[in-house]
Amino acid sequence: MPPITKKGYEALRAELDRLRKVERPKNIEAIAEARSHGDLSENAEYDAAKERQGFIEARINELEHKLAEARIIDTSKLSSETIVFGATVILMDVQANQRKQYTLVGQDEADLKNSKISVQSPVGKALIGRRVGDLVEVTTPAKVVEYEICEIRFEEL
């Protein structure tokens, strides 16, 4: 069972509801409209709507499975001296002398623009189990980066 934060679970649930209540009915209307135009063998609108229907149904099935299997972790109640799922970590890039902040989340919640990285990512894997003051080397496609762990905290996610 993959771990997920409460906020991540709610986001997946909201996407599932939108697909079921908005996107699916809207697509059914598009199929009916395209069908009313006659000859289906040369009807690009019909083909596109049917293709979209397949995508919507596949995504609904995928989300239902993920939500059924998910293990929600309440990060606001976590406390640890070591880095675990849900931790927000302040790092110092030793070579660049830059501070970075990452929150370790599940794969479906990862969003680098918002500093959320997957626990399965190279950085996430390197940080798990480490403590404040530890030096961590992370091999990226471009280079090896060395980080010093400055702070570990837990926030509601």
Question: Where in the sequence is the domain holding 9, given as residue range(s)?
Answer: 3-73
Distance from C-alpha of 86 to C-alpha of 64, rounded to nearest angstrom: 23
Predicted TM-score (pTM) of the model is 0.73
Q: 129 with 146, same domain? A: yes
pLDDT by position in tens, the chain (length 157): 678 888 889 999 999 999 999 999 999 999 898 888 777 777 788 889 999 999 999 999 999 999 999 888 877 777 778 899 989 999 999 999 999 999 999 988 999 999 999 999 999 999 999 999 999 999 888 889 999 999 998 877 6
Q: 112 with 122, same domain? A: yes
CA 133 to chain centre: 28
Which H/E stretch holds residue 14? Answer: helix 6-18
pLDDT of residue 98: 94
Residue in 121, 118, 111 with CA at minimum distance from that of residue 145: 121
Q: 84 with 65, same domain? A: no
CATH number, residue 94: 3.10.50.30
Would you state the structure tokens that stand for residue 84, as one six-digit string? Answer: 């675990």
Distance from C-alpha of 119 to C-alpha of 121, rounded to nearest angstrom: 6
Q: 49 with 79, same domain? A: no
Q: What is the DSSP string of 116-153?
A: EEETTSHHHHHHTT-BTT-EEEEE-SS-EEEEEEEEEE
If phi over 0 gives left and psi between -120 and 50 gives alpha, with beta otherwise, what is residue 47?
alpha
pLDDT of residue 142: 84
Single residue among 73, 90, 106 that ends a domain in this structure: 73
Residue 73, SS3? Answer: strand
Single residue among 73, 96, 126 that ends a domain in this structure: 73
pLDDT of residue 45: 86
CA–CA–CA angle 23, 28, 34 (5° rounding): 125
